[in-house]
Structure 1
């Protein structure tokens, strides 16, 4: 089946290359992607309602109207320029969800620089490694994280300045960025090719890599989601509990709500009771969540103590949501619960279950969004599979990343010359609707956050008491998946010591939570760990246990 060459594809692509493929087009009409940079698009509603609250912090009460947000973005952009930040420079942002996260993120992109976000609970080593890789020249953080970021900056070796929201000895105070007027220099930005965001993802395998997302990538995804009826409007009050450093919070929540003129209530950290209190106090109507939070809403007795009747829509993402759990949450809250699918490399959304449908198949991620073509490919043969059969999901659309930063081999491994991104996820399609059923890639999804087995294995092998190691995902009711380590001992080490060793070196969500000692790790003739064999063995053992 041949399809016309999309205008955003590389110039040397020809329609002939689509022959012998089963290209599944989106059921939606095509959309026009405006030729604009990110900030004017996201703040396009500011002039219509300048005095409306754009974002308010649930913890501190600090808020910004749309006029204040726009003015602050311009002022901080001017301050960043005065500090020597130029087009293409990488600015690291290490912060919880606070209103000024949005200011800095959009100020950086307004002057053609690149914002690279990182989980604030990451260790100094993890932060330093990311900013060494991205060559960040400035970090922006909160006072509580200044010491850790200062250590990370020394590791990175490229950071010239650290700015803190507030003050910290040795840091540039955030307020100093507002001392240079509110008219930043005009910078010539090519929306189609210039990168604005550099979040890190483990991709289909291995250690985290910088995902180069252009202005056009992010604008396209916002337009696509809106055209497919994701349902957010200017009348909504949106909960900002998903971390803004993560692509889901960065684009769908922050960019999505602001571009619609909605109000965001940001939460610096998740606490179930505070979360429920925030819904009640602010009359939250639209919630982007992940399955572990939806599980709490469906099952936890404390939910009954709060008035959550204002909620009309819950959109789930970042990890699979089972139909039973979706239906249970919808019934308890009396709202719509739908789920979507996407990846950091696709800005992120490629599919979602529309709100307008009466389909009861809540376990489906729905059809692909406008302008998004899909293929399902047998990973062993490279042939496209028939409808109803399992295959690796390949995606082509204007939201697909430019590539991995300074990683041409990793880019070539997952992005074909004619624009297909290989997701590493296994899906089944029928009548244009998709179920994501498994993974080709070996990432572990702990509460929606990526844990790369290869990263943990490298750390384990650095322990002199460990001769060999492999890490796999194990299903978990609360977290979705947890890391389990298979260890070949070299010396005297027990389960608790293995877990403590890993915990000392990584973010809490990456901790190994199960350990099994084995005689050997299964490997291919080339030495590659055969994690699939360990996963299959684990599943067989679970199926034969008395609890099943």
Structure 2
């Protein structure tokens, strides 16, 4: 059975992403577009200034040689400059490859090499990682968004009086952004999202939870993540909303920004909902302007959501998607006044879904794997045809790897997961990557990683380790420290158990279910 959205299909404009997002920017003029919320006198850009800055940076990057089809890696936390770099790059028909701001030099090098990036734009604080990674990957140009001795700034590029070139873009074919995702398993892969993918998803999801110029949205989610790209950059700026940006999550700074900027809407991940629900410091802040909280990136416990909504007197809803879906396939519409607890919402317009029994491959009325088809489905994985074919079948169905069910009113619920991917505080943690790191330690003979729940109910990476001969004294702390020195903080091993042998099938595949049953 094919499930369809209860909402009517929407028209999808045949436009590049920057043209669609910034269509009304010039007319909005002095209306505030982006604000640095980390300090009282933070940098501000009006919509008129944003539009002008995008044009000037596009002209400057063009003079440096950035052209259609080139890849520009954007390695930065949330800043006022982020949307300027993003849309200036797409204006030239080039591809933005957003990079996790927590990446180590080695992780950044891997993405730069894999994506074939010619340009890298970062911030001065990240140069200690960015410069060696760029050199190792053969990146031709490195610029900073702010200033740093010996490094050229985007401010210099924007000083040009050169023209903005007219670039012919085919929205259906040309890639606009290439974030990296582990998909359902394995190492991170470049997800090719076309201009049409991104524009379609804005058109699909925008009407379900509309926002407008009267709203202020807080950008605490990372803009390098597809959730941030779509909700905080594209959708919010398309609608004329003021976006208040913070570079990282610190609870008191987050609450201060919510209160001082009279934020009306905030998209978050579950750990922030938990803090809003339970942390005593929340009571010190006036959050009366806040109307709604959208939680996605990982499942939200229904009790936590209810507790937070009651405490703050706000509406809390969930959505569902993945990078390969641009990312939204489900969201709770504002028109649903009393959605059932725990639902991730209804299908967005122009989207089909099947629920398939993993054991039989047949559609089921119960719980099964969600398969999605629609204009938001990615073009494919960059330079990985086999991985693309494994993810999207010949009929265009994307196999999500998530187990869900649907009720009679079309409300979907995520109940389990086929994929091995661990989601730690909304971040993707691929077990295969951590296993490779563990196996690079000569003190480790074999290893496997799974996700387990900690005392707070958060999923964390747990390593099962087989000590190498003569390494009987190897301690849990030493294993965790070894991994921590090689990966971003959110990927760290949080629990270690030593075992005699990793259970494997004859094919060599790790039998993770046996490990979960220990």
Q: Specify the TM-score bucket, using the shorter chain as the normaliser.
A: over 0.9
Aligned to 1:411: 388
| Pair 1:503 & 2:484 matched | yes
Secondary structure of 1:99's counterpart equals: coil
Q: Report SS of the residue matched to 2:342.
A: coil
Tell me if the contact between 1:38 and 1:219 (Cα under 8 Å) persists in the aligned partners: yes
- 1:222 corresponds to which residue? 202
Report Cα offsets for 1:353-378 as digits up to 9, x if no partner: 12221324130011110011001112
- Give secondary structure in 2 for the equivalent of 1:121: coil
What are the within-5 Å matches in structure 2 for residues 13-92 of structure 1? Answer: 22-60=1-39, 61-92=42-73
Instruction: Tell me the equivalent position of 1:261.
Output: 240
Quick one: distance in 2 between partners of 1:496 and 1:477? Answer: 19
Match of residue 221 from structure 2: 242
Unaligned runs of 5+ in 2: none
* 1:347-386 matches, cutoff 5 A: 347-386=326-365
C-alpha spacing 1:62/1:477, structure 2 compared with 1 (3 Å) = farther
Is 1:423–2:403 an aligned residue pair? no
CA distance in 2, matches of 1:45, 1:524: 57
Which shows bigger deviation, 430-439 or 100-109? 430-439
Report the CA distance shift for 1:138/1:33 in structure 2 as closer, same or farther (over 3 A): same
Equivalent residue number for residue 475 of structure 2: 494
Contact 2:38 2:257 in 1 (8 A): no
Moved more, 471-480 or 24-33: 471-480
| 1:399 aligns to 2:376 (yes or no) | yes
What is the Cα-based RMSD across aligned positions, in Å?
Answer: 1.2
Number of the residue aligned with 1:540: none
What are the residue-to-residue correspondences of 1:178-193 with 2, within 5 Å?
A: 178-181=158-161, 183-193=163-173
Do residues 172 (structure 1) and 149 (structure 2) align? no
User: What 5-or-longer segments of structure 1 have no aligned partner?
Assistant: 1-21, 538-548
Residue 162 (str. 1) matches residue 112 (str. 2):
no
User: Which residues of 2 match residues 391-540 of structure 1 at below 5 A?
Assistant: 391-431=368-408, 432-476=410-454, 478=456, 480-490=458-468, 491-492=471-472, 493-537=474-518
Following superposition, which runs of at least 4 residues in structure 1 exceed 6 angstroms of deviation? none
Where do 1:79-118 residues align within 5 Å? Answer: 79-118=60-99
- 2:123–2:146 Cα contact (<8 Å) kept: yes
In structure 2, what is the Cα distance between the partners aligned to 1:359 and 1:472? 36
- What's the counterpart of residue 10 of structure 1? none
| 1:271 is the counterpart of 2:250 | yes
Contact 1:374 1:396 in 2 (8 A): yes
> Do the aligned partners of 2:294 and 2:316 also contact (CA within 8 Å) in 1?
yes
Query: Greater shift after overlay, 462-471 or 373-382?
Result: 373-382
Residue in 2 that maps onto 1:316? 295
Q: Out of 98, 118, 126, which is 2:107 matched to? A: 126
Deviation by residue 1:218-273 (Cα, 9 ceiling, x = unmatched): 0000100123x213222100001100000001111111110000000000111100
**Is residue 97–residue 243 contact of structure 1 (8 Å, CA) maintained in 2?**
yes
Query: What is the alpha-carbon distance in structure 1 between the residues aligned to residue 317 and residue 459 of structure 2?
Result: 21
- Contact residue 89 and residue 95 of structure 2 kept, 8 A: yes
Partner of 2:26, secondary structure, is coil
Question: SS at the partner of 1:213?
Answer: strand
Q: What is the deviation of 1:429?
A: 1.4
Please, what TM-score do these two structures have when normalized by structure 2?
0.97
What is the rounded CA distance, in whole Å, between the counterparts of 1:182 and 1:509 in structure 2?
A: 43
Is contact 2:332-2:339 (8 Å) kept? no
Are the equivalent residues in 2 in contact too, given 1:288–1:314 (CA < 8 A)? yes
Q: Distance in 2 between matches of 1:393 and 1:536?
A: 25
- Over 3 Å counting, the alpha-carbon distance change for 1:479 and 1:126 in structure 2 is farther
Count of aligned residue pairs for this structure pair: 512
TM-score under structure 1 length normalisation = 0.92
